[in-house]
């Protein structure tokens, strides 16, 4: 049987939820000089160099280590997609405390800022998409949207216009605040210790191989998969739901980001828990949320009616399917 879901019409977000994109009506002005965050430049450069070295270790590692790395990739990715994104940033479904705590651990394994910071930035991104108030404005080019936005100080508009949004629900969530309080030990444990120790303890993989493959390489690949939603899926792909916006349907991003590449649909219907017209199809995150529903941990999943989707495609889509 299909999981029952809250049916929502064409989304009109309430206060504190994620509204759809709005056009920036302010006049163009010269952007202030970018202040480079050298710590992030060094960390990201080191991580990518270490990941290139990790590729040379694959032939000398245990096959179970590869499987474990793939599993932990999905495990940590769900902390972003099912957790920070669909649950906390968009409130597209509700979760009971055990699932919320599990998602907080998964999110810590992803090491992409704590849930509060991630969700806050994402709401600002949707409200002011493709303007200077968008933390990773794709109109500033592929590199900026992909990783460059993390290597420089945020544009003043991100902070200023973000103050006008309601984040009270995030601050009121005790699990979010618990993760924020203990974020450093949690990321040390979940992002680096657990993925390294499991292969070493259970099948005798060397700590060296386990650390570089299951911790560093896995982390680097996940970062780039998440960033690809901001870059690839905001620059290239079909636009069957709204041809007037940058976000597009990008299958390569769907596969790498466990279901998050149906981006034209998502920015058109941001409150839909599946982020896709096709439900679970190629969407590991939606499958995970549905499984949590059957286990009694997820509920009140919001789904846009098919008639609303089809009407929107006819009205604003590019004609693709």
State mean pLDDT over 13-29.
Answer: 42
pLDDT in tens, 161-178: 999 999 999 999 999 999
* Distance (Å) of CA 293 to CA 2, 4, 257, 280, 290: 10, 9, 21, 13, 5
- pLDDT for 279 equals 77
Distance, in Å, from the CA atom of 25 to the CA atom of 281, rounded to the nearest integer, reads: 38
The band of 33, judged by pLDDT with boundaries at 50, 70 and 90, is low
115 secondary structure, DSSP code: H
Distance CA 94, CA 297 (A): 8
The bridge status of strand 94-95 relative to strand 298-299 is antiparallel
Q: Is the pLDDT of residue 321 over 90?
A: no
Query: Bridge partners of 294?
Result: none
The average pLDDT across 185-190 equals: 98
Q: Are 119 and 112 in contact (CB under 8 A)?
A: no
How far is Cα 31 from Cα 126, in angstroms, rounded to an integer?
Answer: 21
The predicted model scores a pTM of 0.89
């Amino acid at each position: 049987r299909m999981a029952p879901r809250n049916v929502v019409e064409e989304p009109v977000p309430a206060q504190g939820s994620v509204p759809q994109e709005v056009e920036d009506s302010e006049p163009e002005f010269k952007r202030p000089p970018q202040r480079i965050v050298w710590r992030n430049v060094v960390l990201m450069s080191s991580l990518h160099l270490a990941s290139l070295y990790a590729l040379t270790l694959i032939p000398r590692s245990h096959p179970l280590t590869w499987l474990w790395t793939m599993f932990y990739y999905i495990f940590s990715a769900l902390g972003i997609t099912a957790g920070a994104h669909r649950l906390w940033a968009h409130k597209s479904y509700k979760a009971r405390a055990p699932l919320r705590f599990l998602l907080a651990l998964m999110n810590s394994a992803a090491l992409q800022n704590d849930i509060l910071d991630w969700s806050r930035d994402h709401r600002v991104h949707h409200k002011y998409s493709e303007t200077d108030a968008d933390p990773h404005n794709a109109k500033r080019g592929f590199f900026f949207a992909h990783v460059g936005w993390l290597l420089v100080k945020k544009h003043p508009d991100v902070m200023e216009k973000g103050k006008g949004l309601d984040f009270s629900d995030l601050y009121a969530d005790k699990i979010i605040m618990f993760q924020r309080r203990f974020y450093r030990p949690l990321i040390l444990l979940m992002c680096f210790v657990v993925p390294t120790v499991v292969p070493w303890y259970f099948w005798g993989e060397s700590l060296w191989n386990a650390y570089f493959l299951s911790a560093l390489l896995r982390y680097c690949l996940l970062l780039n998969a998440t960033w690809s939603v901001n870059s690839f899926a905001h620059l290239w792909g079909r636009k069957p739901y709204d041809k007037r916006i940058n976000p597009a349907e990008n299958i390569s991003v769907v596969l790498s980001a466990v279901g998050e590449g149906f981006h034209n649909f998502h920015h058109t219907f941001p409150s839909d828990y599946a982020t896709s017209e096709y439900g679970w199809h190629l969407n590991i995150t939606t499958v995970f949320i549905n499984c949590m529903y059957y286990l009694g941990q997820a509920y009140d999943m919001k789904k846009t009616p098919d008639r609303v989707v089809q009407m929107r495609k006819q009205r604003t889509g590019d004609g693709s399917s």
